[in-house]
Structure 1
Amino acid sequence: MFGADVTPATTILGPGADADVAIVGGIHGDEPSGVRAVRRVIESNPSFQRPVKLVIANPPAVASHRRYLDVDMNRVFPGDPASPDQERRLAAATLKEINDCSVVLSLHSTHSYDDPIALVSRSNPPVQGLAARLPVSHIVDPTPCFDGAFPACAPVVSVEAGRQLTEEATENATDIVAAFLRLTDALPGEVPTTDSTYYTVTDAVSKQPDTDYELQIENFEVVEPGTTVARSEDREYVADDAFVPILMSETGYDDILGYKGETAGTSLSSARATWGVPPRSSD
């Protein structure tokens, strides 16, 4: 079905062929909400005011309903077009597809949280400004811990749209896409303001492989020292220090429970001060 020369599936809608904005789904093949949201846009063929590029990044994994076939695509950017690993080639091809875009929305889903979460790099202030206007309550800089992630090497705001394989995640992804298209002037209309809190990922929380854990805490609720974070049949993980749980789940990752984080601010300006980003008058 797919050969060695497989490429991302790309559609451009709107006037002209030089798209400056893009929406990407399907980096992970077992996260259908983003793919469905992208396909809804393609099927509805709206009257865009500017060209928009719509990309399914990993068609073989999407067709197989698997997170990846060779390696996790969202850990190997910028990729390698000559690699024997399919996802490394697709990562390089996806970057080539969005090379001329000033901003990109990348859609994912998660095992850890019902509501949308935005992830942005501290190195890209314009993307931070756009994320701050999306309808999300939590905006996270994963830079210290996410090697090879898409937002680290392109102007990408990555959104975890909700719990994996739920209709709610698809509806959330669809709403995020509509907001993104309005914020980038591809569609008319206003996006209501959302109060967001900003976070920095500081560390990963390891777990024993092939062990069933029961999570004892809630994401984005501060964990105090001495709190039991997770239990298995024969062990407990107890917090040594205070942290904010981010993308923590019992089944989302093979070798970690998720991530520790800390609050960076309750406004974009305060978060940027924490991240060491110079203030910008344009946001």
Structure 2
Amino acid sequence: MRVEQLGDGDPELAVVGGVHGDEPCGVRAIERLLDDDPDVERPVKCIVVNEKALERGVRYVDADLNRSFTPDTPADAHERRLAQELAEEVQGMTVFSIHSTQSHADPFAVSDGRAEHVQRIVPRLSVVALVDTQDFGEGRIFAADADIVEVEAGLQGSETAAENAYTLTREFLTVEGALPGDAVARELPAFTMGDPIPKPAADEYEVFAENFSFVEEGDPVAAADGEVIRADRDFYPVLLSPYGYANQFGYHGQKQESLGQSPSGANSTSVNSRPSAQ
């Protein structure tokens, strides 16, 4: 694990990339940020996590790191040790963890929508939606003692994902007062993750529905070897892709109250960047 810092002092902010070795966009964003060497108003810790998996170009070495923040992961697994080290590095901090996906080209956040730091940060990022993980966090980095926002920056391995990751990182640092500027809040659609969409054994898969777009019961969702699979209920697809998972296409999601919406229903407005903690 590689740890570097921008600015002087004890950092309260961290940017994390390389949790998965086949998702280099966060690492590229961190390297670009370090090359820029901006004059930060709050110190920032930059962490490239699973260097061994990154070197091999694989998702993980022994276990999925983003499922290894649990005693259920074998103690001798490379990622179990990394999870412990990462949890110690980010303890008590506000953390921006960058991933990429096979499901959606546009960036979206994957975080607990009930958390104050998520409500403060995510509506001020250039993401298209929040996937609320309030009931879907076992073994993930959210188990660390830190305020964590995860984002999917774009399609895995794409140049666009790397560019998005850099933009989102700078937006996060602006919201948290490390970089100067204003952060504009807006109303953002939010979705819960329900049960999986089953994926039968087949050689070829297709998906017809779009993530975060309403699917009515009976609509075609996907196909396995040309056999069309239709929706058995009304839902909003979340993390839907033909090959992203071995045994499922994605999740049956449901839309919830938008993030960044005031109690009266009015949209949030522009705010100044968050001041440094006292």
TM-score normalized by structure 1?
0.86
**1:192-224 deviations in Å (ceiling 9; x for gaps):** 344311111112223235642110111111111
Alignment of 1:108-257 (within 5 A): 108-122=99-113, 124-153=115-144, 154-209=146-201, 211-233=203-225, 235-257=227-249
Seen in structure 2, the aligned counterparts of structure 1 residues 82 and 69 have a Cα distance that, compared at 3 Å, is closer
Amino acid at match of 2:23: E
1:137/1:195 contact within 8 Å kept: no
What is the alpha-carbon distance in structure 2 between the residues aligned to residue 114 and residue 132 of structure 1? 19
Seen in structure 2, the aligned counterparts of structure 1 residues 191 and 79 have a Cα distance that, compared at 3 Å, is farther
Seen in structure 2, the aligned counterparts of structure 1 residues 218 and 170 have a Cα distance that, compared at 3 Å, is same
Match of 1:132, SS? helix
Alignment of 1:32-111 (within 5 A): 32-78=24-70, 83-101=75-93, 103-111=94-102
Q: What are structure 2's unaligned runs of at least 5 residues? A: 264-273
1:264/1:270 contact within 8 Å kept: no
Match of 2:182, SS? coil
How many residues get paired?
263
- Name the residue aligned to 2:269: none
Amino acid at match of 1:13: L
2:202/2:224 contact within 8 Å kept: no
Cα offset, 1:82, TM superposition: 7.7
What is the alpha-carbon distance in structure 2 between the residues aligned to residue 236 and residue 144 of structure 1? 30
Amino acid at match of 2:199: K
Q: Does 115-124 or 177-186 show the bigger shift? A: 115-124
Seen in structure 2, the aligned counterparts of structure 1 residues 78 and 155 have a Cα distance that, compared at 3 Å, is farther
What's the RMSD between the two structures over aligned residues?
2.2
What is the alpha-carbon distance in structure 2 between the residues aligned to residue 136 and residue 83 of structure 1? 36
User: Structure 1 vs Structure 2: percent identity of aligned residues?
Assistant: 38
**1:4-38 deviations in Å (ceiling 9; x for gaps):** xxxx211111021x110000000011011111001
1:79/1:90 contact within 8 Å kept: no
- Name the residue aligned to 2:16: 24
What is the alpha-carbon distance in structure 1 between the residues aligned to residue 34 and residue 46 of structure 2? 8
What is the alpha-carbon distance in structure 2 between the residues aligned to residue 82 and residue 245 of structure 1? 33
Q: What are structure 1's unaligned runs of at least 5 residues? A: 1-7, 272-281
Cα offset, 1:238, TM superposition: 1.7
The structure in which a higher percent of residues are strand is: 2
Cα offset, 1:185, TM superposition: 0.8
Seen in structure 2, the aligned counterparts of structure 1 residues 96 and 229 have a Cα distance that, compared at 3 Å, is same
